[in-house]
Amino acid sequence: MNPHVNAIAGRLSLRPPQRESLEILDRITEIVPPSKTPDVPAALAIIKSEFPKVTDFEREFPSICFALACCLQCLSALPAFPSKA
């Protein structure tokens, strides 16, 4: 496992679904490295070969959304709510 995944998951205390999403994102960036000029059909084919549930990106560029984003949004919103002392 990527040590960065372990560090992020540990630092953010990710629950199993969020950790799994982070691991998937890590794997996708291994098999389809980020690029400013991606070959979208090729990227989709590569990702589909490993993750058959993927159907399309819903955009004209590789777009990947996970439950991880929800967790991170919740964490960033926490300071906005004062705690009762």
What is the model's pTM?
A: 0.69
Q: What is the pLDDT of residues 15-41, one digit of tens each?
A: 888 888 889 889 999 999 988 888 889
- Chain mean pLDDT for the chain: 78
Assign 74 a pLDDT band (cuts: 50, 70, 90): low
> What pLDDT shows up at residue 85?
47
Cα 39 to Cα 44: distance, rounded to the nearest angstrom: 9
pLDDT band at residue 45 under the 50/70/90 scheme:
very high
Long-range own/partner contacts, residues 33-39 (CB < 8 A, 24 or more apart): 38/62
Residues near 50 by beta carbon (within 8 Å), at least 6 away in sequence: 27, 31
Give yes or no for residue 49 having a pLDDT over 90: yes
User: Residue length, the chain?
Assistant: 85
